[in-house]
Each structure stands twice: as C-alpha cells, then as structure tokens.
Structure 1
Amino acid sequence: MADGKQVVMIGATGAVGGEVVKALLGMDSVAGITLIGRQRYEGSSSAKVSQHVADVTDPESYRHLLAGHSHAICTLGVGQPSKEGRAQFLRIDRDLPLAFGLACREAGVGHFQLLSSVGADATSKSFYLRSKGELERGLLALEFARLSLFHPSMILTPTNRYGVSQALTLAVWPWLTPLLAGPLRKFRGVKLARLGQAIALNLDRTALARTGEASEILEWDDFNRICEG
C-alpha cells in the first residue's frame, strides 16, 4: 500500500455511503476500511473491509473499534428529513455524527470527513440548515488536524428512492444546472457516484482550506476537481 490509510466509517448502508465504500475499495492508498453500523454493508466481501454491527446511538458500543485509524468518514443522515419529527431528525443528523466525531477525536483520528449540506449555517433560520451548521460548529470545536465538510446541493440518484417529489426533482434538476452559474454553481446537482468518489478521493489530497488551516468546505466545483484529478 502507498501509505496505508486506515479508514473508519458510519453511514455505509446509505446511498452516498455505499458509493464512498466502492470508491475506497479501488484506492491503493487505503489499507483498511472499518464499517460500523446497525446493519451490515452488503456491497463487498473484500479483505480490506472489517464490519462491526453496533449501536451507533451509544459510542461505548464502538469506541474500542476506533484506535489505529487515520481517517474517519460520516455519511449518516435521514434520507427524507420531511418524514421525521424534529427531535428524531436532530438525533440522527446532528447528535449521532457529533458523538462519533468526539469518539474519533479521543481515539486519535487525525482527519474527519462529514457529508453535510450546501448552506449549512448554525445561525440559519432554516431548521435543516441550522442543524447542519450546529453539527459543523461542534466538529470544528474538536480541533481535528483536518476536517473536511462536504456541501452538496441536490444529490442526483440514478433511481427514484422517495416517491413523486423526488421523481419531479430528478426530472427537472438537470435542466436547471446550466442556469446555476457564478456564485450559484454550488447549488448544482451532483450525481450520487461522483459525490461518493469525491469523498473517498479527498483522503489523498491536501486540504483545500477555506474556513481555516485545518478545515475545508467542499462544494460542486471541488467535487469535480477532486474526481478529475
């Protein structure tokens, strides 16, 4: 292996997480991938992958698995935020990722990557964006050696996963893309596989810091730059 990265991850059974794992498996620089979740990831039998079923709501159930990892990735989140109550959404999308981040930091993980959202802001009037911003603020306070915050807008899945509203979005969004120019480019939709690939390949890149020396916010143009090398 080129540099033997050891990656620990939660959220692998989600749509984005699954694509991240696929991309990680193709990287020579990644020596091992530890997947932690309530269910097993069924997409690979590679010897690189070590799977552990654990209660992600309780860091004590997985804390012992974190030592020795150089990188952590969190793609955990609610698939359809509108279908969840606010308390449950905050628990899954904010509190659990932050608890995972804290446990990783205490275990000595140097680089943490989070799937967040364009427009995340702890002071936003939008409940969704405010919760994402609060999570990011909490992770920044942990002072990782490197923190990568991925800010996609619409994630374009190859199939309709959530019914009529998503079907309409998937049909219309590609037509809107050319209209999103200049400062609006960050709102362009990103294909699911490309986002997963960008998250994985970013492990091999030096920081593209925008918010400080140790943190970086990555948006649509960055995803393409990372994937195209």
Structure 2
Amino acid sequence: MKTAIVFGSTGLIGGHLINQLIQDNYYTKIKIFVRSQTSINNEKVEVIIIDFNNLANHKTEITGDDCFFCIGTTKQNSPDKNDYQKVELDIPKEIAQIAKANSVKSFIFISSIYANPNSSGNYVKFKGLVEEELKRLNFSKLGILRPSFLMGKRKENRVGEKIGIFAFSALSPLLFGPFKKMRPISSENVAKAMIKIANSNLEKTVFESNEIVELTSS
C-alpha cells in the first residue's frame, strides 16, 4: 500500500489524477498540497495547506512513496516574470529536492512538448531546466511526461490553446513520424499515464505525447 503526494490537484490533469488515485487500490493515502481549502472530500485524502513561498516549512509533510507534480501557469495568470519563473522553475525544483531528501521513491512530472533548457522561450526552457534537475536528483523512478495540447474542460478560458487544439485536431490524421507527438491528447489519459509510470518497471523516463497515448492504450 502506498502514499501519493500530489501538487496541482485542482488543475486539468490534477483533477483527473485525484479521481483515479482515489479509485486505485495501490494507494491508501493521498496527500494533496494546496494554497487554500478545496472541495475534495474522501477518506483517503489528506489536504495540506502550503505556503509556496516557504516550502522549507513543509519539509516534514512532503513524505510518501510517489510524488505527482502537475502545477503550471500561463503568462496571463502570472504576468510578472519573477512570479512566472517561480511557478514554472523554482517551485518544482525545490519540491523535488525536498522529496529526494525525504526518500520519496518516485517523481512524476508534467513537462511540455519540446521542453528544452536551451530554448529562447521561457516556458519550454523552464520545463527543460526542471527536467535536468530531476535527472540529476536520481530518483529511484522518474517519469517526465511531455503532453501536447490538452483536451478537457478547464476552469479558465484559454483562447490560444483552444485554437491550437482545433487546428491540430483537424490535422491529426496528417501528423506522422516526428510530428505525431503534436496531436492533442486527453488530460484524463495523461493522468492515467502518470499512475501507470509510478507503478510499472519501465526503461524509459521521458514520454512524448504520442508515447503517453500508447502507454495508456497498452
């Protein structure tokens, strides 16, 4: 029986992840870390209010078997460049470092298609830098997922993403080879893949969007 640690439980992927973890018999406890109270109510779930500006104060609480990290933001929600970097780069790195110090076995991270630490674009650059840090920490099990456009019902309206989903959905039948990973993907399937990676002995650590689909269909 295992304890799951979840960051990003109220997001598009995180919502599916929590529902699936609740139904998963491998997990007897689910620790979710949130900024404010949540409506999630289940006997397996422990809600922990966390101050992301003082993560060191929560070191003793970030303990368990598998850490699932799916926090993310947008330039629209975090227009200040320092806040944006904090959410996309600093927070995931610090949480991973604490998890490793606390002997958390697995770290499963939602990255991005085309993540690259040398990119000129901050979003994929920060994701790439987090990936590098996760690899350096050498968890017993590491899963890095790079989904393309996420399909699912969001709380906020992302016009650009909707346009991208529409365009690439229409083009999906034509996307083969290296472009196959650009096909839109179900957020529910991404959550399913996170759990499968944490509970399987897989040789891979980085999963492109099309590989996430293949993983959940096998």
TM-score (norm 1): 0.87
Matched, 1:123 2:118: yes
Which digits, 9 at most, give the CA deviation of each residue in 1:85-122, with x for residues without a partner? 32221110110011100110111101101111011111
Residue identity in the other structure for 2:47:
Q
Which digits, 9 at most, give the CA deviation of each residue in 1:47-68, with x for residues without a partner? 111111110222223211123x
Q: Kindly indicate whether the alpha-carbon contact (under 8 Å) linking 2:108 and 2:142 is maintained by their aligned counterparts in 1.
A: yes
Structure 2 residue aligned with 1:137:
132
In the alignment, structure 2 segments of 5+ residues that lack a partner are none
Q: Kindly indicate whether the alpha-carbon contact (under 8 Å) linking 1:13 and 1:40 is maintained by their aligned counterparts in 2.
A: no
Matched, 1:171 2:166: yes
Q: How large is the Cα RMSD of the aligned pairs?
A: 1.8
1:39 to 36, 39, 57: 36
Residue identity in the other structure for 2:168:
W
Structure 1 residue aligned with 2:46:
50
Deviation at 1:159, TM superposition (A): 5.5
Question: What does 1:1-229 align with in structure 2 at a 5 Å threshold?
Answer: 4-42=1-39, 44-67=40-63, 69-78=64-73, 80-83=74-77, 84-158=79-153, 161-209=156-204, 216-229=205-218
Task: Give the stretch that moved more between structures: 174-183 or 216-225.
Answer: 216-225
Q: Report the Cα distance in structure 2 between the residues aligned to 1:86 and 1:220, rounded to whole angstroms.
A: 27
Residue identity in the other structure for 1:48:
K
Q: Does the C-alpha gap of structure 1 residues 58 and 222 become closer, same or farther in structure 2, counting only changes over 3 Å? A: same
Q: Percent of aligned pairs with the same residue? A: 19
Count of aligned positions: 217
TM-score (norm 2): 0.91
Q: Does the C-alpha gap of structure 1 residues 166 and 186 become closer, same or farther in structure 2, counting only changes over 3 Å? A: closer
Q: Does the C-alpha gap of structure 1 residues 159 and 96 become closer, same or farther in structure 2, counting only changes over 3 Å? A: closer
Residue identity in the other structure for 2:50:
A
Which digits, 9 at most, give the CA deviation of each residue in 1:30-78, with x for residues without a partner? 1211001102332x322111111110222223211123x1110111110
Q: Report the Cα distance in structure 1 between the residues aligned to 2:38 and 2:114, rounded to whole angstroms.
A: 30
Deviation at 1:161, TM superposition (A): 3.1
Q: Kindly indicate whether the alpha-carbon contact (under 8 Å) linking 2:93 and 2:134 is maintained by their aligned counterparts in 1.
A: yes
Q: Kindly indicate whether the alpha-carbon contact (under 8 Å) linking 1:35 and 1:52 is maintained by their aligned counterparts in 2.
A: yes
Q: Report the Cα distance in structure 1 between the residues aligned to 2:71 and 2:155, rounded to whole angstroms.
A: 20
Q: Report the Cα distance in structure 2 between the residues aligned to 1:207 and 1:177, rounded to whole angstroms.
A: 27
Q: Report the Cα distance in structure 2 between the residues aligned to 1:29 and 1:16, rounded to whole angstroms.
A: 20
